[in-house]
């Protein structure tokens, strides 16, 4: 099955990349109030137990994919 | 009588690039450096460990995030838990934070620029195994060279760090947006230390400063004392 993990800098964490992109978008004439940049991790997993996959993805995020101190994460998983 | 030479491990990750500079500096200050490859499950019989600067595992995902899973890191964790002296320089500091051996995290510099220059730092905490040769308030000139050296700690953690005297080094002119200008931080026990500036690049007048020798020399002295105490 396929899963996607979105990792974002937590609110209040300085995101200089987001700030640079926001200011560039404004220079292009877009009325952008804020921009934050995170990461997307696409994963392919063995098995078809959705609940088990979700639990494992949770552990992957806590142990490696995100640094819980500074990043939040969002998991989506769907059977193929 | 000649003074005993403490053995100090310098861990080499794939992508470390200041390992030999660190070893050279430690050797010049009276230690016997031992390079230890990241795949080693155990540390040799050493009295201190240095995690050097560089770009371990290409800085993939987050700086230090992958290095923390290297086999040698389990040994470093055990060494630190037993009260062993551990110093992380730049990427080594990032690895220690990711490994949970030091509090906080390092984020991209607020300027988004890679910074490579001498910076003035102030000693906030003397009398530690890493600052015994310094005096509180002393100003050191040590180079930084990093893209992700912006130290993050939330207000609660900052208050804790202050309360426990864990903030050992602060920038006099904050180059990267670090919280409270923190350049180097200790663990609660005071035996694990991480800093973004590179003391190993400031140990010879030819390099423009010898202030780094105060930090590394403190570590060598502390390691020697431990060696003598164990003898």
Quick: pLDDT tens for A9-66.
Answer: 999 898 999 999 999 999 999 999 999 999 999 999 998 899 999 999 999 999 999 9
Torsion of CA B177, B186, B47, B97, to 10 degrees: -60
Q: In what order do the strands lie in the sheet with A71-78?
A: A39-44, A2-9, A71-78
Q: Is residue B225 part of a domain?
A: yes
CATH number at residue B140: 3.40.50.880
Q: What is the mean pLDDT of residues B31-56?
A: 97
Q: What is the mean pLDDT of residues B31-41?
A: 97
Q: What is the mean pLDDT of residues B75-87?
A: 97
Residue B33: pLDDT band with limits 50, 70, 90: very high
Name the residue with tokens 């491990």: B9
Establish whether this prediction's ipTM goes over 0.90.
Answer: no
Question: Is A17's CB within 8 Å of B62's CB?
Answer: no
Rounded to 5 degrees, φ, ψ at A28 are -80, -5
Considering the candidates B134, B146, B200, B201, report the single residue annotated as catalytic.
Answer: B200
Beta bridge partners of B85: B48
Residues of B whose CB is below 8 A from A17: 108, 112
Rounded to 5 degrees, φ, ψ at B128 are -100, 170
What pLDDT, on a 0 to 100 scale, did the predictor assign at position B1? Answer: 52
- First-to-last alpha carbon distance for chain A, in angstroms, is 5
Does residue A20 sit at the B interface (CB-CB below 8 Å)?
Answer: yes
What pLDDT, on a 0 to 100 scale, did the predictor assign at position B231? Answer: 79
Question: Is A13's CB within 8 Å of B65's CB?
Answer: no
* H or E element that contains B121: strand B115-123
* H or E element that contains B25: helix B19-28
Name the residue with tokens 């990461």: A39
Full domain range(s) for residue B79: 7-230
What pLDDT, on a 0 to 100 scale, did the predictor assign at position A78? Answer: 86
Is residue B3 annotated as part of the catalytic site, yes or no?
Answer: no
Residues of B whose CB is below 8 A from A69: 104-105, 152
Q: What is the mean pLDDT of residues B177-196?
A: 98
What pLDDT, on a 0 to 100 scale, did the predictor assign at position A47? Answer: 87
Q: Cα separation of B5 and B28, whole Å?
A: 11
Residue A79: pLDDT band with limits 50, 70, 90: confident
Q: Is residue B160 part of a domain?
A: yes
Q: What is the mean pLDDT of residues B153-158?
A: 96
Q: B1-27 in b/e burial notation, b at 16+ Cβ within 10 A?
A: eeeebbbbbbbbbebbebbebbbbbbe
Q: What is the mean pLDDT of residues B34-49?
A: 97
Instruction: Please give the share of chain B, as a percent, with pLDDT higher than 90.
Output: 96
Query: What is the number of structural domains in chain B?
Result: 1
Q: Is residue B2 part of a domain?
A: no
Q: How many Cβ contacts (< 8 angstroms) between chains A and B?
A: 33
How high does pLDDT run on average in chain B?
96
Is the pLDDT at B203 greater than 70, yes or no?
yes
Q: Cα separation of B125 and B48, whole Å?
A: 20
Question: Is A70's CB within 8 Å of B107's CB?
Answer: yes
- Residues contacting A38, CB < 8 A, separation 6+: A6, A7, A8, A9, A71
Alpha helices in B35-100 (DSSP H): 71-81, 91-98
Does residue A16 sit at the B interface (CB-CB below 8 Å)?
Answer: yes
Give the CATH class of A2-78.
alpha beta
Is the pLDDT at B67 greater than 60, yes or no?
yes
Is the pLDDT at B79 greater than 70, yes or no?
yes
Considering the candidates B63, B90, B134, B150, report the single residue annotated as catalytic.
Answer: B90
Does residue B98 sit at the A interface (CB-CB below 8 Å)?
Answer: yes
The crossing angle, in degrees rounded to 10, of helices B19-28 and B212-230 is 70
Q: Is residue B174 part of a domain?
A: yes
Residue A43 C-alpha, separation from nearest chain B C-alpha, in angstroms? 14
* H or E element that contains B141: strand B139-146
Is residue B200 annotated as part of the catalytic site, yes or no?
Answer: yes
């Amino acid at each position: 099955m396929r899963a996607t993990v979105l990792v974002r800098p937590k609110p209040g964490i300085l995101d200089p990349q987001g700030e640079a992109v926001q200011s560039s978008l404004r220079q292009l004439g877009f009325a952008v109030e804020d921009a934050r940049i995170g990461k997307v991790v696409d994963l392919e997993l063995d098995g078809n137990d959705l609940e088990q996959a979700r639990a494992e993805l949770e552990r992957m995020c806590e142990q490696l994919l995100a640094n819980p101190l500074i990043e939040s994460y969002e998991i989506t998983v769907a059977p193929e | 009588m000649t003074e005993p030479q403490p053995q100090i491990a310098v861990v080499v990750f794939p992508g470390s690039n200041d390992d030999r500079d660190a070893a050279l500096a430690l050797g010049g200050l009276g230690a016997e450096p031992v390079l230890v490859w990241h795949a080693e499950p155990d540390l040799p019989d050493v009295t201190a460990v240095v995690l050097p600067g560089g770009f371990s595992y290409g800085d993939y995902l987050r700086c230090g995030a992958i290095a923390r899973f290297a086999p040698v890191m389990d040994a470093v964790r055990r060494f630190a838990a037993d009260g062993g002296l551990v110093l992380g320089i730049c990427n080594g500091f990032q690895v220690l934070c990711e490994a949970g051996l030091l509090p906080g995290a390092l984020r991209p510099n607020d300027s988004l620029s890679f910074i490579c220059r001498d910076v003035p730092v102030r000693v906030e905490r003397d009398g530690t195994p890493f600052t015994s040769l310094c005096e509180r308030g002393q100003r050191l000139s040590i180079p930084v060279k990093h893209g992700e050296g912006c130290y993050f700690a939330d207000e609660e953690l900052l208050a804790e760090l202050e309360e426990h005297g864990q903030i050992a080094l602060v920038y006099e002119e904050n180059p990267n947006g670090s919280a409270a200008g923190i350049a180097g931080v200790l663990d609660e026990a005071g035996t694990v230390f991480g800093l973004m500036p590179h003391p190993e690049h400031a140990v010879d007048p030819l390099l423009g400063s010898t202030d780094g020798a105060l930090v590394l020399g403190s570590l060598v002295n502390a390691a020697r004392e431990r060696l003598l105490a164990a003898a």
